[in-house]
Amino acid sequence: MMKKEIRLHGLFEEYGEKRFLKWCRSLEIFRFCKSHPYPDDLTPDRFIALIHFKEREELVNIIKEIKLSFFEKDIMSYLQQTNEKLISGEASIKNINCHITINEIVGYLEIAIIGIKDDPFALTADTFERTKSIDNYLQTLDIEFEKSPYGDDYCITPEFYPEVWL
């Protein structure tokens, strides 16, 4: 087991212990991920769901099954070309806003839910409700999600923080 850099009591103080535990325990697919410390803190605290895939055909099937739509980018144009291997941007799943990153070099699709429109660093009840709605929908699909999206202790998962799920 790795040394934990994130102290749960700090997250409890920031988000409220009862609320934070509810967030973690009630999500099946998404996991809470803490931002890394300065100077690597450009990404806010967020909820992440991660899918690994082996080839583009599998990616296309995942995108169709999720019914993913990007706001400012054309995912179909991206999929028709072969040069680019990375696409990222604001999107929606079931009319709920999220951020999507597709990295074909390492083979993953990441769904991230962050703060609110005017403050991406503020996780609120609304942020959680959006996450829970997408989480509920994704559970109905035949897609295998990573239980621990990232192998670091900034991602609060049952693997690294079993005491959260007691």
The 10s digit of each residue's pLDDT in 79-100 is 888 888 999 999 999 999 999 9
Provide the pLDDT confidence category of residue 105 given band limits of 50, 70 and 90.
very high
Q: What is the pLDDT of residue 82?
A: 84
Q: What is the 3-state secondary structure (H, E, C) of the chain?
A: CCCCCCCHHHHHHHHCHHHHHHHHHHCCCCEEECCCCCCCCCCCCEEEEEEECCCHHHHHHHHHHHCCEECCCCHHHHHHCCCCCEEEEEEEECCEEEEEEEECCCCEEEEEEECECCECCCCCHHHHHHHHHHHHHHHCCCCCCCCCCCCCCCEECCCCCHHHHC
| pLDDT at residue 1, rounded to an integer | 47
Q: What does pLDDT average to over the chain?
A: 88
pLDDT in tens, 119-161: 777 788 899 999 999 999 999 999 999 988 887 778 899 988 8
Going by pLDDT thresholds of 50, 70 and 90, the confidence category of residue 38 is low
pLDDT tens sequence across 48-70: 999 999 999 999 999 999 999 99
